[in-house]
Amino acid sequence: MSEARGFSLLERFELKYHIPVSLADEIGDFLKPYCEEDFYSKKTPGGFYWITNLYLDSPRWTFLSWKKAGKLDRFNMRVRCYGEHPDNEGSFHFEVKRKVANVGYKSRGTIKGVNPSFVWSHPEEEWPCKTETDKMYVRQFIGKTHIYNAQPRLLTQYKRRAWFGLNEEYSRVTIDMGMRFREENGFDYSVDSAEMWSTSLPRFFQRDCNAVLELKCPALQVPFWMLDLIHRFNLKHGAFSKFGNAAAEWKRVYENPRDFRDARFPYLAGDFEDSKVLLSAKL
């Protein structure tokens, strides 16, 4: 059983593949000798549980622009929780996902029992962190928001089925589907499915695919069974950015409101008054 489940810092190699979600059970059967199903998948009917991420970025989309430019050393920031309708009394994970060339690094600091906005308005000694390591990573997260003027931008959700490797220090397989988002300029985690925009759209996937399979492991320790999985299902690499695709759709909604079926026009995060003027000019 992997010791990295309650991680604070991970270094890993990630491979992404587009698949039809109908393969999930067959992939699960293949993984049985090598992996254990994730705790949340075990307790959720059908195996797919909800993940909710609140992504932060600057008003000029600094982190997203790094990705688009192919910057070799870049990161993004999010506050993650679990469930379709997150509970403010639950846990919130402050995560920084850094990528250096092809290797990913992920840090996580966790608070519990309060809304994430609490850590910006209260002194560090009042933060409800379980460990000093959690507090350190939350502190670093807050520091980066000040340096880069990072603010809440997009709330994303998707359903995940996941497995952990049984014999490696860290190995993980995930299948994600049902990606969707809405604009969020604060720390409101409430979700109304009617107010969410889908990013599980054909243009973001290879033909006949509607889910993303990810293989995650240390860069120099790729298990043989992962290679066997790739060959067994003839997997083809396919990039997919949940944050990037959500931002692209957000931009499309904002710039072309007449293309959508109702009158919900999100304002540009970070400069609300100017956004209203721009919208009025467009209409």
Most confident option among 117-126, 198-207, 217-226: 117-126
| Contact between 142 and 126 (Cβ < 8 Å) | no
Residue 12: predicted pLDDT: 84
Average the pLDDT over each of 4-18, 88-102, 108-122 and give the range with the smallest value: 4-18
pLDDT of residue 247: 94
Please give the radius of gyration of the chain, using alpha carbons only, rounded to the nearest integer: 19
Tokens 């959720």, located at residue: 44
- The mean pLDDT value of the chain amounts to 88
Identify whether the C-beta of residue 133 lies closer than 8 Å to the C-beta of residue 8. Answer: yes
Cα gap 108→94, rounded to integer Å: 5
Rounded to the nearest 5°, which phi and psi values hold at 280?
A: -60, -40
pLDDT of residue 179: 97
Residue 91: pLDDT band by 50, 70, 90 thresholds?
A: very high
List, in order of start, the domains of the chain with CATH numbers: 9-282 (2.40.320.10)
Residue 100: beta bridge partners?
A: 73, 103
Phi first, then psi: give them for residue 214, nearest 5 degrees: -120, 135
pLDDT at 36: 97
Instruction: Supply the pTM of this predicted model.
Output: 0.86
**Residue corresponding to tokens 């999100």:** 266
